[in-house]
Chains A and B, each alone.
Chain A
Amino acid sequence: MSADANEALSRRGFLAISAATLGGVMLAPGIRLIEIAGARAPEQAASKRVRWGLLIDTNKCAPGCDDCVKACATENGIRSTGHPRTDPQWIRKVELKDPRSGRAHSAPVMCQHCEHPPCVDVCPTGASFKRADGIVLVDRHTCIGCRYCIMACPYKARSIVFQEVTDQNPDVPRGKGCAEGCTLCVHRVDRDQQPACVEACAKAGHNAMIFGDLNDPQSEIARRVAKYASTQIRADLKLNPGVRYQGL
Chain B
Amino acid sequence: MPPHGLLRFFACLLLALPALAFAAERTPKPFIVIDKPGQCVEAAEIMRREHPDMLKHQRDRTMREGIRTRKYSLKECVECHAGAKTASVIGEKGFCQSCHDYASVRLDCFGCHASKPKLASGAKP
Contact = CB atoms under 8 A, between A and B. Distances in A.
Interface of A: 40, 42-46, 129, 131-133, 137, 139-141, 164-165, 167-171, 173-176, 178, 186, 190
Given A43-B69, A131-B65, A170-B78, 19 more contacts: A40-B66, A42-B67, A42-B68, A43-B67, A44-B67, A45-B67, A46-B65, A131-B64, A131-B66, A137-B63, A141-B59, A165-B112, A170-B75, A170-B117, A171-B75, A173-B114, A174-B112, A175-B112, A178-B112
A168 B64 contact: no
A191 B61 CA distance: 16
B112 A168 contact: yes
6 contacts: A42-B67, A44-B67, A167-B116, A168-B114, A170-B118, A171-B75
A35 B121 CA distance: 38
Contacts of A137: 63
Contact of A190 (B64, B66, B118, B121): B66
A141 B55 CA distance: 12
B8 interface: no
A81 to B, nearest CB: 16
B111 A42 contact: no
Interface of B: 59-61, 63-70, 75, 78, 111-114, 116-118, 121
A45 B112 contact: no
Contacts of B67: 42-45
Contacts of B66: 40, 45-46, 131-133, 186, 190
Contacts of B65: 45-46, 131-132
B113 A168 contact: yes
B64 A42 contact: no
A176 B69 CA distance: 27
A171 to B, nearest CB: 7
Contact of A169 (B60, B78, B111, B118): B118
A46 B67 CA distance: 7
A175 B70 CA distance: 22
A73 to B, nearest CB: 15
Would you list the 7 A-B pairs with minimal beta carbon distance, nearest first? A175-B112, A46-B66, A45-B65, A173-B112, A170-B114, A175-B111, A168-B114
Nearest to A46: B66
Report which residue of A165, A170, A176 has the largest number of chain B beta carbons within 10 angstroms of its beta carbon.
Answer: A170
Contacts of A175: 111-112
A167 B121 contact: yes
Contacts of A44: 67
A109 to B, nearest CB: 25
Contact of B121 (A46, A129, A170): A170
Contact of A173 (B60, B61, B64, B113): B113
A171 B112 CA distance: 11
A96 B103 CA distance: 57
Contacts of A190: 66, 68
Nearest to B62: A190
Contacts of A133: 66
